[in-house]
Structure 1
């Protein structure tokens, strides 16, 4: 394995992101329609938060009326800013895959926005790391 391979070699660059003016329903649609689990929240090109499929499931679960199914009424009463993870850890496109693996293995999140001079250029997930590892064998 190459020990100094930059994360830019495995990150996803076909980016989906959302901003604070969008609704949680819109974010839910993006996540479902595009089959992604994490979406960076941006202001311009800068990452200000992160929303995950799990975040949305948690607020849907709170609104379950009879336990037989999830509803999304909470989406109308909450904003992206209220639900998103703030103070998101980011990595630079030149950071190594080892750096990223270390961060993800020692924290309770599964995706990191990748930046170049502070601007969002990609996202790397634990799935990207596993695929990279598989390719090495």
Structure 2
């Protein structure tokens, strides 16, 4: 199996959300760009990850109590900080596809932010890894 640098397959145009933004902004970004993971930033530093599943959990609660998500007092009262995963595992651009696959095999999340000198420079998902392995010569 050929090992490729993660920098070759990562998404470099990363959409992210500020920790102080409303949760509805995160959902709108995910819908607009058809993505499932958003790094959460505070003062230029990665502080968490928010997934579409985090928002779906609130959607299920709203459905249960009979409220539309956008109009729900529950949804409007939640912050990104309350929904995000705080302990984020990341890789650097020096990592390989094999290293990313090893991380993914031991965790339940499906995206990894890619950092260089503590700066967010990319994101890689399990789909990116599968695609890389399937397209190897």
Q: Give the TM-score normalised by structure 2.
A: 0.91
Aligned residues: 135
| Partner Cα distance (1:65, 1:104) in 2 | 32
If each structure's helix is expressed as a fraction of its own residues, which one has the higher value? 2
| Partner Cα distance (2:44, 2:132) in 1 | 27
Shift of 1:60: 1.3
- Consecutive unaligned residues of structure 1, counting only runs of 5 or more, are none
Q: Give the TM-score normalised by structure 1.
A: 0.91
User: Which portions of structure 1, spanning 4 or more consecutive aligned residues, are displaced by more than 4 angstroms?
Assistant: none
Matches within 5 A, 1:1-137: 1-3=1-3, 5-65=4-64, 71-72=69-70, 73=72, 74-137=74-137
- Consecutive unaligned residues of structure 2, counting only runs of 5 or more, are none
* 1:8–1:93 contact (8 Å) kept in structure 2: yes
CA RMSD between the two structures: 1.6
